[in-house]
């Protein structure tokens, strides 16, 4: 188990990581989600021992490893750039960490074949990395990290330089590859969709702080605050500035909804409501749905669904509707929203209560 | 603004000896004035080669390129009167934002008053008015990319604006905004725009018509809806949509597609070339899981937030079904779909669909 | 807090010792000399700032300083633009690039005194190729007698010796510019000059700063070549600070004033280098 205890890093008066505590279990897949410069890479460098925390400590399996340099730890890393030995064949690339460990030849052969099979590299073992496609080059780098049998495998946006479709394929395979090894995997990404596809646990980072850590679906459905909700929303969240008074929700002076049961604990006063674009629908799904009048700004058709940008007063919202809808800008449009889908945040951005979901769907299938 | 004609364009790097030496096998297309087009495909499909031919960085080995009726094939980039936005932002660090945007206008000797008015308009458009007089150095990637974009839009007289994966360096949330802004800009400006990307969402949302490229050819050009509902080639079905279209091998006999015990009625279809592999294509989004239809063996249910993906088998063939976020799988699930959801492929090309009663 | 790794200090130690012996201790010795007087026999008397005042009040010092500054100024004014010009016109790839690089590296490999000797011989009116050629052409050229000719010879020699360093540095800066910039400029309709002014020059700024600093410090301290070619003459016309210093220290054995002059010399170089650095990096701090 890898544990950070109040670990922080400051460089030249600039704080890269605020004091942060985190426990990562063996055999787990952990996603670090955050925008560029949110501290993902800094945090990985602390975990790896490439950087030393300026305060706090790093523990591995109950031992303090704070001062132990990366060479003496058992770590593998995969980068955004495809880092392979250009002069070696794919086979030798994958075998290189095993050779360094001085393992017997037959054992190396078996391990390399197994990893190549897992990552679908078997036909290319005798080729040089630069003769392969980007996706195959990155598979080689991943195979090398997996075969090393390290306790901790760090992947820093490994798919960012790959084509959309290749990313999709590798994303689907990675959890299986990770499950087959017993290591702690840490996977940094800027894309919420990637975190959702990978599953496991997610740590949302924002400006060098750990905003929330927990099972990916739990974080997605019950963000602790607005920062997490926003960082984890793709497409971006729709916001609605409102006020709670008794049993009613008010927008300006007009009441637009009774307070849904899951928000009944919220105190009276101003609150910021938020909901996902796909929860705003073109037709009501039930009698409880709110009707919200908007004006269309732009409709983007994405094949199977349409992303409709709308305005409501000063708010800019979006609807994600299945099917193709060509709607001219300026057209009035009613959106429907189940109030049970509303998330509410107080003036400081803390979640009042998360949107209601059935307990069953919290468990990731498969 | 102009209509772009690609007249039987072929290109090979070096001297071609055989067909496979061509990076661009043959492209023949006419893109109308003021349209928004996208070139979509994986790396190595020839989309960047085609873009460079349009911008004039490459001279095609064969064929011609015309803007309206004027042959541009031998004109250098500077004479083609186009604008281009690159994958990585290109800004002139030492200049202010205002000067950056005015640069292409000043180079062409636009009158001062006209230049100033135009620059002010562009700054408003890209939402950077407040920073107009600061230097471009030290801006964030998306601000820099907006400046590149602004410079592209500055000249009122360009024939076309080309985009080469312009959102690569932009954070996902910012992508949604910039994409919508680009689309709105197209509506307002009326420029002919060509957008090159490997990202289907960017291509489909930006363009009115998308050209899907594969192995040096445009395999299909159509609206986002056409590409989704009627992929002309199984590659288009696979490449567009996530997950892509399910392709199941079938036997075609007596107007029916036979898959295991399922006999699926087909509509009229073109003749199947002898020896061609026949498949049916089904979009995961267009499948229903319930108590009606063919028996489905569920393998696992993936929760990806706003929807669920069911991985299952139909008569031993793997299949993905896209379901709503609250969906539940009944015991003994069955698979059903409307005849419109079916596409029939022979040798990779679409030859027909389901029988619509 | 535990130290990161104590052994690391052992690796740095040899360098520290070397720097101490080669730089710090000699410098302190010079400071020591500059504030004392000696009449030999290892007897020293405190002199305070007397030597400094003497140097700063001597016309000889100011004349030598002026000559050094003028020389550096001319060198920078010729070598930097010329080096950039050459870099801009160097081939970007292929065999000609290799040929070009080898030819340009050649002068840099020749030892200083050999450069001096080459030019000393080259320019001689009796046996030198250049001197004889000039005489045949009817040009009255003689670096031994004529002040202008002596200066021209030294400047041309230095330009021949060092311009390729500037060119190579500028070239390194140029090849680091992504193609997209040139494409964008072409599409923006930028002129050749605008491309240079707004893309190439800004991207070369850092390497040019290094080139300016190196060439300034080096030319300001130039000793071997003028000593070999002109010996500081005719008269004192090419007696730069460095030559003057050696004359004073070794020729006249005035160790005190020579030490004070060294310190002043050192401070001038430090000051001017800092000024160059500050001016050229001014925009980065905006």
Residue of C nearest to B105 (CA): C188
Its sign, for the CA torsion B122, A307, B356, B260, is: positive
Per-residue pLDDT reduced to its tens digit, B113-169: 999 999 998 888 788 888 888 888 888 888 888 899 888 888 888 889 999 988 887
The residue of A80, A164, A205 whose CB has the most chain B CBs within 10 angstroms, and thus the best one to mutate to test that interface, is A164
Lowest mean pLDDT among B213-227, C36-50, C130-144: C36-50
Q: Which residue of B has its CA nearest to A221?
A: B305
User: How many cross-chain Cβ pairs, A to C, lie less than 8 Å apart?
Assistant: 4
Confidence of residue A366 (pLDDT cuts 50, 70, 90): very low
- Interface probe, candidates A50, A67, A68, chain C, greatest C C-beta count within 10 A: A67
* Two structure tokens written together for C159: 């330009």
- Flag whether C22 is in a domain: no
**Looking at chain B from residue 237 to 266, which residues have their Cβ under 8 Å from any Cβ of chain A?**
238-244
Digit-coded pLDDT (tens) for A176-204 = 888 877 889 999 999 898 999 888 999 99
- Residue B80 shares a structural domain with residue B118: yes
Q: Does the structure show a pLDDT above 70 at C121?
A: yes
pLDDT at position A319 over 70: yes
pLDDT digits (tens, 9 = 90+) for C152-163: 888 888 898 899
Question: What is the distance between the alpha carbons of residues A71 and A74, in angstroms, rounded to a whole number?
Answer: 8
- Which parts of chain B have pLDDT scores under 70? 1
Residue C47, pLDDT above cutoff 80: no
Q: Is residue C78 part of a domain?
A: yes
Q: Find the residue in B nearest to A237 (Cα).
A: B173
User: Which pLDDT score, from 0 to 100, does residue B14 have?
Assistant: 82
How many Cα atoms are found within 13 Å in the side-chain-facing hemisphere of A365? 22
* Rounded Cα gap, residues A297 and A331, in angstroms: 8
Antiparallel, parallel or unpaired: β B251-253 and B256-259: antiparallel
* Domain-located, residue B280: yes
List CB contacts (< 8 A) between A300 and chain B: 179-180, 183, 205-206
pLDDT greater than 50 at residue C2: no
Give which of C180, C184, C185 to mutate to test B binding, by max B Cβ within 10 Å.
C184
pLDDT at C40: 63
Q: What end-to-end distance do the CA atoms of chain C give, in Å? A: 37
- Sequence-distant (6+) residues with CB within 8 A of B209 are B31, B35, B36, B37, B38, B221, B222, B223
Residue in A with minimal Cα distance to B177: A236
The structure tokens listed for B225 are: 């809806």
Q: What is the mean pLDDT of residues A13-22?
A: 91
- The token pair at C166 is 């500037």
Q: Which of B171, B176, B224 sits opposite A36 (nearest CB)?
A: B171
Report the alpha-carbon angle A67-A71-A72, nearest 5: 60
- Per the domain annotation, does B270 fall within a domain? yes
pLDDT digits (tens, 9 = 90+) for C171-205: 988 988 888 888 888 888 888 888 898 888 888 88
CB contact under 8 A, B243 and A168: yes
**pLDDT above 90 (res A155):** yes
pLDDT score recorded for residue B239: 92
- Residue B339 and residue B267: Cα distance in Å, rounded? 9
Give Cα C264 to chain centroid, integer Å.
Answer: 17
Q: How far apart are CA B342 and CA B354, in angstroms?
A: 5
Q: Are residues B293 and B327 in the same domain?
A: yes
Q: Helix H segments across C24-146?
A: 25-34, 50-56, 59-89, 95-109, 112-123, 129-136
Is the CB of B77 less than 8 angstroms away from the CB of C286? no
pLDDT at C6: 64
- Decide if C283 and B83 are in contact by the 8 Å CB cutoff: no
Distance (Å, whole) CA B252 – CA C167:
72
Task: Show the 3-state SS of A169-226.
Answer: HHHHHHHHHHHHCCCEEEEEECCHHHHHHHCCEEEEEECCEEEEEEEHHHHHHCCCEH
In a domain, C89, yes or no: yes
Question: Could you give the CA distance from residue A154 to residue A83 in angstroms, rounded to a whole number?
Answer: 14
The CATH number of the domain where C224 resides is what?
A: 1.10.3720.10
pLDDT tens-place string over residues A346-365: 888 888 864 444 433 333 33
Nearest CA in chain C to A51: C4
pLDDT, position A358: 40
Q: Do B171 and A190 touch (CB under 8 A)?
A: yes
Q: Give the residue on A whose Cα is nearest the Cα of C5.
A: A67
A222 touches chain B (CB under 8 A): no
Are B278 and B225 contained in the same domain?
A: no
List A248's β-bridge partners, or say none: A245, A258
Nearest-CB residue to B180 (from A168, A300, A358): A300
Q: Count Cα atoms within 13 angstroms, Cβ side, for A191.
A: 20
Instruction: Indicate the number of domains in chain C.
Output: 1
Q: Domain check: are B206 and B299 in the same one?
A: no
Chains with ≥3 CB–CB distances under 8 Å to C: A, B
Within a 10 A sphere around the Cβ of B346, how many other Cβ atoms? Answer: 20
**What pLDDT was estimated at residue C286?**
45
Domain that holds residue C175: 60-285
Q: Does B90 touch chain C (CB under 8 A)?
A: yes
Instruction: Give domain status of residue C48, yes or no.
Output: no
B236 located within any domain: no
- Parent domain of B210: 4-229
Q: Does B42 touch chain A (CB under 8 A)?
A: yes
pLDDT of residue C5: 59
To the nearest 10 degrees (0 to 180), the angle between helices C201-220 and C255-280 is 170
| CA distance, residue B176 to nearest chain A CA (Å) | 7
The answer as to whether C253 is a domain residue is yes
Domains and CATH numbers, chain A: 2-230 (3.40.50.300), 236-362 (2.40.50.140)
Q: Do A165 and B42 touch (CB under 8 A)?
A: yes
| Residue B223 resides in a domain | yes
CB contact under 8 A, B82 and C194: no
Chain A residue numbers with beta carbons less than 8 Å from the beta carbon of B176 are 234-236, 307, 318
Contacts of B300 in chain A (CB under 8 A): 365-366
The reply to whether B257 and B318 lie within a common domain is yes
**CATH number of the domain bearing residue B29:** 3.40.50.300
Which residue of chain C has the CA closest to B136? C286
pLDDT given for residue B101 in this prediction: 92
Chain A residues with CB under 8 Å of B206 CB are 300
Same domain, residue pair B85 and B198 = yes
Q: Considering only residues 63 to 122 of chain A, which have any Cβ-Cβ distance to chain C shorter than 8 Å? A: 67, 69
- CB contacts < 8 A (B, C): 54
Q: pLDDT higher for B137 or A108?
A: A108
Q: How far apart are CA C49 and CA C259, in angstroms?
A: 12
Q: Judged by CB atoms within 8 Å, which residues 275-314 of A form the interface with B?
A: 276, 278, 297-298, 300-304, 307, 309
By the 10 Å C-beta count (0-12 exposed, 13-18 middle, 19+ buried), B88 is classed as middle
For residues B187 and B264, membership in a common domain is answered with: no
Nearest to A362 by CA among A222, A179, A197: A222
Whether B285 and chain A come into contact, CB under 8 Å, resolves to yes
Say if residue B123 is in the same domain as residue B252: no
Give the residue on A whose Cα is nearest the Cα of C3: A67
Query: Within a domain: residue B98?
Result: yes
At A188 the pLDDT is 94
> Which residues from chain C sit within 8 angstroms of residue B136, using beta carbons?
none
Residues B312 and B181 in one domain: no
Q: Domain tally for chain B?
A: 2
Q: What's residue B1's pLDDT?
A: 66
| Within-domain flag for B235 | no
CB-based contact, A169 to chain B, within 8 Å: no
Contacts of B160 (CB under 8 A, 6+ apart): B1, B2, B4, B54, B67, B82, B83, B191, B192, B193, B194
Question: Coil, strand, or helix at residue B285?
Answer: helix
Do C181 and C190 meet the contact criterion of CB atoms below 8 Å apart?
Answer: no
pLDDT-based confidence at C284, cuts 50/70/90? low
The residue written with tokens 């567009």 in the block is B240
Whether residue B239 is contained in a domain is answered as no
Q: Which of residues 113-172 of B touch C (CB under 8 A)?
A: 135, 137-138, 148, 151
Tell me if C43 is assigned to some domain: no
Q: Name subunits touching B (3+ CB pairs < 8 A).
A: A, C
Question: Cα separation of A300 and B204, whole Å?
Answer: 8
The shortest C-alpha distance from A301 to chain B (Å) reads 5
Task: Return the residue of B nearest to A359 by Cα.
Answer: B326
| ipTM field | 0.84
Q: Do B9 and B148 lie in a common domain? A: yes
Least confidently predicted of A117-131, C36-50, C201-215: C36-50
Q: Tell whether C178 is within 8 A of chain B (Cβ).
A: yes
In a shared domain, residues B104 and B46? yes
Q: Does the distance separating the beta carbons of B44 and A364 come in below 8 Å?
A: no
Classify residue B300 by burial, with Cβ atoms within 10 Å: 0-12, 13-18, 19+.
Answer: exposed
pLDDT of amino acid C31: 82
Q: CB-hemisphere CA count at 13 Å for C214?
A: 15
pLDDT of residue A357: 44
Please tell me the number of Cα atoms within 13 Å of A37 on its side-chain side.
Answer: 7
Residue at C32 is within a domain? no
**How far is A223 from A208, CA to CA, in rounded Å?**
18
Residues 305-324 of B with CB under 8 A from A: 305-306, 308, 311
Shared domain for B275 and B153, answered yes or no, is no
Residues of B in contact with A134 (CB under 8 A): 43
User: Is residue B225 one of the residues assigned to a domain?
Assistant: yes
């Amino acid at each position: 188990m890898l544990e950070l205890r109040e670990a922080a890093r400051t460089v030249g008066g600039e704080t890269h990581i605020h004091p942060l505590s985190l426990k990562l279990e063996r055999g787990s897949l952990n996603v670090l989600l955050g925008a560029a410069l949110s501290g993902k890479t800094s945090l990985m460098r602390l975990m790896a021992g490439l950087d030393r925390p300026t305060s706090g400590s790093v523990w591995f399996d109950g031992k303090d490893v704070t001062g132990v340099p990366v060479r003496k730890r058992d770590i593998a890393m995969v980068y955004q750039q495809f880092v392979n030995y250009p002069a070696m064949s794919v086979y030798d690339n994958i075998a290189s960490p095993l050779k360094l460990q001085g393992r017997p030849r037959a054992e190396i052969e078996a391990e390399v074949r197994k990893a190549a099979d897992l990552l679908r590299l078997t036909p290319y073992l005798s080729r040089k990395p630069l003769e392969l496609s980007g996706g195959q080059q990155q598979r080689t780098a991943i195979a090398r990290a997996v075969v090393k049998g390290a306790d901790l495998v760090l992947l820093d946006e490994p798919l960012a330089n790959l084509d959309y479709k290749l990313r999709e394929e590798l994303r689907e395979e990675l959890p299986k590859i990770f499950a087959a090894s017993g290591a702690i995997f840490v996977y940094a990404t800027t894309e919420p969709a990637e975190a959702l596809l990978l599953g496991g646990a997610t740590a949302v980072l924002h400006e060098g702080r750990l905003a929330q850590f927990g099972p990916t679906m739990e974080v997605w459905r019950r963000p602790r605050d607005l920062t997490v909700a926003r960082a984890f929303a793709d497409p971006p969240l729709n916001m609605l500035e409102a006020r709670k008074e008794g049993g009613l929700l008010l927008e300006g002076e007009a009441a637009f909804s009774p307070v849904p049961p899951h928000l009944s604990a919220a105190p009276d006063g101003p609150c910021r409501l938020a909901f996902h674009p796909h929860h705003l629908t073109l037709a009501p799904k039930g009698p409880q749905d709110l009707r919200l009048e908007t004006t269309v700004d732009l409709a983007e058709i994405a094949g199977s669904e349409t992303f409709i940008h709308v305005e409501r007063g000063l708010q800019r919202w979006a609807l994600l509707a299945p099917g193709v809808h060509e709607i001219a800008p300026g057209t009035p449009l009613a959106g429907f929203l189940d109030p049970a889908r509303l998330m509410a945040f107080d003036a400081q951005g803390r979640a009042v209560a998360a949107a209601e979901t059935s307990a069953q769907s919290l468990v990731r299938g498969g | 603004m102009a209509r772009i004609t690609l007249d039987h364009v072929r290109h090979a790097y070096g001297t071609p000896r055989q067909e496979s030496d061509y990076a661009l096998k043959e492209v023949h297309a006419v893109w109308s004035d003021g349209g928004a087009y996208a070139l979509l495909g994986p790396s190595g499909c020839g989309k960047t080669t085609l873009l460079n031919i349009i911008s004039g960085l490459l001279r095609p080995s064969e064929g011609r390129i015309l803007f309206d009726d004027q042959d541009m094939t031998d004109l250098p980039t500077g004479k083609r009167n186009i604008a281009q936005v690159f994958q990585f932002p290109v800004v002139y660090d030492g200049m202010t934002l205002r000067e950056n945007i005015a640069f292409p206008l000043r180079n062409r000797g636009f009158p001062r008053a006209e230049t100033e008015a135009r620059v002010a308009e562009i700054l408003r458009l890209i939402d950077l008015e407040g920073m107009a007089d600061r230097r471009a150095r030290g801006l964030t990637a998306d601000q820099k990319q907006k400046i590149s974009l602004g410079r592209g839009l500055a000249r009122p007289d360009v024939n076309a604006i080309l985009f080469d994966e312009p959102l690569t360096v932009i954070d996902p949330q910012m992508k949604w905004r910039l994409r919508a802004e680009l689309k709105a800009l197209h509506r307002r400006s009326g420029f002919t725009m060509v957008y090159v990307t490997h990202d289907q969402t960017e291509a489909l949302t930006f363009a009115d018509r998308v050209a899907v490229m594969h192995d040096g050819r445009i395999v299909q050009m159509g609206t986002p809806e056409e590409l989704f509902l009627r992929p002309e080639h199984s590659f288009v079905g696979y490449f567009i949509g996530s997950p892509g279209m399910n392709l199941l091998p079938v036997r075609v006999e007596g107007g029916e597609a036979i898959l295991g015990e399922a006999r699926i009625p087909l509509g009229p279809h073109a003749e199947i070339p002898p020896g061609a592999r026949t498949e049916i294509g089904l979009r995961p989004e267009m499948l229903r899981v319930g108590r009606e239809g063919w028996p489905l063996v569920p393998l696992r249910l993936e929760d990806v937030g706003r929807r669920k993906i069911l991985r299952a088998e139909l008569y031993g063939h793997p299949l993905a079904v896209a379901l709503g976020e609250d969906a539940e799988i009944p015991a003994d699930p069955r698979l059903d779909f409307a005849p419109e959801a079916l596409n029939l492929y022979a040798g990779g090309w679409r030859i027909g669909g389901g029988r619509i009663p | 807090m535990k130290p990161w790794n104590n052994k690391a200090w052992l690796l740095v130690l040899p360098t520290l010792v070397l720097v101490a012996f080669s730089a710090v201790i000699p410098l302190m010795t010079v400071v020591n000399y500059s504030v004392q007087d000696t009449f030999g026999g290892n007897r020293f008397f405190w002199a305070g700032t007397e030597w400094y005042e003497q140097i700063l009040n001597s016309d000889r010092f100011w004349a030598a300083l002026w000559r050094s500054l003028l020389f550096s100024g001319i060198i920078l004014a010729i070598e930097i633009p010329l080096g950039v010009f050459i870099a801009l016109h160097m081939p970007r790839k292929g065999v000609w690039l290799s040929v070009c690089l080898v030819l340009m590296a050649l002068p840099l490999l020749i030892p200083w005194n050999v450069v001096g000797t080459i030019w000393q011989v080259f320019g001689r009116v009796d046996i030198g190729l250049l001197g004889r050629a000039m005489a045949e052409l009817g040009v009255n050229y003689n670096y031994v007698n004529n002040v202008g000719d002596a200066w021209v010879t030294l400047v041309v020699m230095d330009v021949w010796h060092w311009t390729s360093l500037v060119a190579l540095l500028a070239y390194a800066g140029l090849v680091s510019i992504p193609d997209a910039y040139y494409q964008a400029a072409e599409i923006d309709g930028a002129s050749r000059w605008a491309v240079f002014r707004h893309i190439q020059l800004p991207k070369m700024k850092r390497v040019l700063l290094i080139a300016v600093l190196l060439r300034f410090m080096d030319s300001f301290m130039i000793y071997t070549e003028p000593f070999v070619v002109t010996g500081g003459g005719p008269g004192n016309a090419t007696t730069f600070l460095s030559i003057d210093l050696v004359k004073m220290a070794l020729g006249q054995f005035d160790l005190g004033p020579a030490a004070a002059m060294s310190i002043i010399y050192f401070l001038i170089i430090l000051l001017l280098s800092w000024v160059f650095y500050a001016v050229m990096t001014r925009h980065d701090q905006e």
